[in-house]
Amino acid sequence: MDPERTTRPDAPSTARAALRSRPFAALLAGYAVSALGDGMAAVAISWLAIELANGRDTGLLVGAAIAAYTLPGMVAGLGLGRLLTRWDPRLLVLAEAVVRAACLGVIAAGAVTGVLDPVGYVVLLGVSSLLGLLGVTGSLTAVAELLPDTQRVAGNSLITVTSFAATIVGPALAGLVIATAGAGAAIAIDAGSYGVLILAVLLSRRFQPPVPQPAGAAHGMGRALKALWHQQAVLGITVACVIFYALYGPVEVALPVYVSQTLHAGPAILGGYWTLFGCGATAGALAASWAARFGMWRVCVAVIAGWGACLVPLGLTDSVAVGFGALAVGGLIYGPFQPLKQTIIQRASPPGSLAAMAAASGLFTVPAAPAGTALGGPLVAAIGAAPTLLASGLATIALAVVASGVLLRRRRRPRRARPASPCPPALAATPPP
């Protein structure tokens, strides 16, 4: 029996306790380095696209590059469902890291040598993202496998913290590297960061065979999507996330335009907004374990309402100081959302089906923000940046009101005995806690 699986069920739920698991600590270190590389890639991918465009159709190439780095993995994930129940979750992470490292390495080499062209760039970025859904699924299921239930909120928050911290350091580091060595060098560092993740996964622990399942129980993506429909807790948080992330998407378009055209300020102010958001979100993610004691669903709904409220001042004023305060508080409020959302999925998924449920949920949640961003451009062009920020904030608050009503209704609904069902009991609808 694996000693890492025999942790007491009443084990402490602090981040320090989670870090005592050597396999988890090794995996977290790999994620931290990889997240820093991705933070650099957020700038480097767009900048390299600008260089390759050479003044021709620059916007189209930048948009295609950003989309190629994310969306193909969601499409490919439809055909990879059975791998999710047959592979150890860290093998899923390993597979995605290997493909990312290889493709980004080729891009970096092509950029440095001058042989990379726009078409090849977009194609390589698309190939690099093909196993993206495996990586997202593997990270969520690996936490559930390596840590006991009481420590999962802490584990999820630590992984979220690495992502938020990377949004603070990564873009600034990318700017320095690009200025001194070019965008290709920054992408080479991102490729190397995935190499570190590969090493961390290999060091985290020997791989375990998946839990034996009855004949025919392997989840293809179609079956996982059907199971998602019947698992109300996971379905509920998935729907909330899709709308929440989609409403956030226009902010990424509207905020730069707001800074430029409404505030008549430069990139330093825009960078300050996102830096303050990242600092607040990092602190908020660290507080996820503390916030969870108030009820994970309550906190998630409160986060949605709070983030929407923080956007409203941006739509009503042109004060830089007010904007700084709103984004800092907004980040602090938003911080606990991701780790709590992940923990809800981990706890509500049927036994042996976490990977398939996480993948089915990810098929909808991962593309939601890019879709919102794509809609943000026409919206900003139609009504302006400040009204877009205001509309996003008010619509997000409305989402929180609706979600609160659904939770209250479910709490007041009397529980009825359910008739026998041919499906496993774990697949029966589970109301939110």
| Whether residues 26 and 129 fall in one domain | yes
| Whether residues 78 and 136 fall in one domain | yes
**pTM of the complete model:** 0.71
Residue 163 maps to a domain: yes
Side-chain half-sphere CA neighbours of 153 within 13 A: 23
| Whether residues 112 and 180 fall in one domain | yes
Closest CA to 86 of 13, 22, 137, 28: 137
Structural tokens at position 186: 């920054």
- 165 near 282, Cβ under 8 Å? yes
| Whether residues 194 and 255 fall in one domain | no
Residue 72 maps to a domain: yes
| Whether residues 270 and 183 fall in one domain | no
Angle formed by the axes of helices 337-348 and 354-365, to 10°? 140
Answer with the one of 175, 207, 239 that is the final residue of a domain. 207
| Domains: count for the chain | 2
| Whether residues 55 and 94 fall in one domain | yes
> Scanning the structure block, which residue is given the tokens 């991962």?
366
CA dist., res. 183 & res. 190, Å (int): 11
Tell me which DSSP letter residue 433 carries. Answer: -
Answer with the one of 207, 233, 257 that is the final residue of a domain. 207
The rounded average pLDDT for each run of 10 residues, N- to C-terminus, in the chain (433 residues) is: 38 69 86 88 81 75 77 65 62 86 95 91 90 74 79 83 83 83 90 92 64 48 74 88 90 79 76 83 87 89 95 89 91 91 85 74 80 78 87 94 88 53 34 34
Tell me which DSSP letter residue 260 carries. Answer: I
CA dist., res. 61 & res. 313, Å (int): 34
pLDDT at position 307 is 95
Residue 427 maps to a domain: no
| Whether residues 177 and 233 fall in one domain | no
Residue 127 maps to a domain: yes
Residue 374 maps to a domain: yes
Tell me, what CATH number does 33's domain have?
1.20.1250.20
Residue 417 maps to a domain: no
| Whether residues 327 and 370 fall in one domain | yes
pLDDT at position 81 is 55
Answer with the one of 207, 227, 256 that is the final residue of a domain. 207
Q: Which domain holds residue 277?
A: 219-411
Closest CA to 213 of 356, 1, 23, 4: 356
- 158 near 58, Cβ under 8 Å? no
Helices (H), 366-423: 368-383, 385-412
pLDDT at position 410 is 78
Structural tokens at position 200: 């961390």
| Whether residues 197 and 239 fall in one domain | no
pLDDT at position 415 is 52
Residue 418 maps to a domain: no
| Whether residues 173 and 231 fall in one domain | no
